[in-house]
A and B are shown apart, each in its own frame.
Chain A
């Protein structure tokens, strides 16, 4: 596959996703509107009782908005987009027609992830920009985030979006079902992670959870403060999840009856 064809195929993948109005609306709701709502709610609180509630912006609220984007609602947007990218061709029946072109099935799989990640980055990037703007506009007397922490946060949001998006693409391509993918990945990211993190009997095995590794790499303190792992190990854990999800997605795409 030439670079031109790869670029065209990624562009086509992006077209499929961004023209899906329902998907885009829900992704924007999760990745952008929740950040705006968070600051809007804090602004209302501050306006109603300034003595009790501080200004809605500044560095502390920026930190919370980054976590919302990286580990919670932005992650849900990434899962939504990744699940759609992984399953859209199969559920619509177009996969059969794409396979019938003679193009390698692995190539058909390989372009799904960049398409999904590009759209996820756009959505969560917009959420990040909204959070950053609100942090400055509503800072009041609070200190604003510095350039370094802003850049680190942007990089972490991008990393989180890419890892979780890739995970959803892999599971989606393997299962072929959007419902199964959403249930499995959201279940892992929310319910399973919360339960397993509390299961002290599992010891260091809990470090292998993707959210724990992502939490460790975030520029602020980890939300899983009972677990600590080195940055290098966290990177390895995330690479492992990316490789495993890519491998099962690629394998199933290659052997699936179209």
Chain B
């Protein structure tokens, strides 16, 4: 009997009440390419961290070539022959290319010093292999382009001469010809017995390279099957996999003559937002979808004034809108306000009182002669607490004492008190129980019906389908597709998110990055 390269038995991991991974058992045969697919939050990254030894599972075991993996850091998996090419690059920008290639295990001379000559020679070999032959090994990594860094990251994995290579979204920033080269390398290495775990969102790549596929959803292993055994649509359904179960409030069609509140044209910022144009009407809930990290966050932060605009223009009620910062966006006659993605780090002052957190953006309006008006503040916070049905013992208690759902309501209260013209909501239901979710959905719909315009970022397809009048799907910093009405469905969103190339559609500009 052959020993499997990887053998998972009953692996589970929870973060507090959220189950990231539940009872996953999986065998991966040596010398095969095994693809792992899953939506955001399906448990892929937890699985990777467990496989690489960075994270210890709560239950279950991991064996690599029949040897038990102890989870005390990346070294433990490396000694068993597993090398990882990380999605978030594990390169040190201030060190040279060659230093990075051999960061943890440089070639050594007799006395244990780093053998610089051998390091240079071996670097050249690996750089040539991944197509970076024209890069000098002494170049600082900080000066490489994103594509070059990604290739270097791959070279770094290969240089460890692993028996198992884990590629985590390794092609995310590679143009087509480099992907071809990578696939040739993988094919060669596989013939020599290398086992590859391939994690990617790009369905076409998985079809080209994988022998077997596993689909994860909500932390569970849904199915493992031979590649080509399932069609695109089947896989999409397996990935998303649920019926619309949550109760969303009814939608009224946005009248065609509703005034345009926010008009964005040709907006670009940092290198994540590329030439984005759209119009947001009064009473509309406009969904911003796509996989994580496709520029959604940067787009919304730019509209809010947190990121400086590089090109393009925005108008609010027809007048140019170019806030010098969040404070300016909030202070206007028609405020634009943003609910941040991570309420604990970007939203709440955790140690401060519930009342102060609610009133943080309006204190100026509730003060007299520069002093805070206690009576007005109390009345104001009491009214909004009642309106949003926030469960609190006392407005003076620290906001950290509340549950996640109630914390989120406190943040929403902060926005509401300013009566914004535009609500920018970033993942407003993240980590919240179903009951509170429904309340928040109803509230968002009510705000829109009463004349506000809402930008609603979410990575949850169901929310895009159930809540939004229109959906923009972003990929690589640009709008990949605009969906409206019945076209807002799982297959369409999934396809646009994954940038699946249909014969009639052109390639996305993000894929044809110009290399220096």
Please say whether chains A and B are actual partners in one complex.
no
Binding site for B on A (CB under 8 A): none
Binding site for A on B (CB under 8 A): none
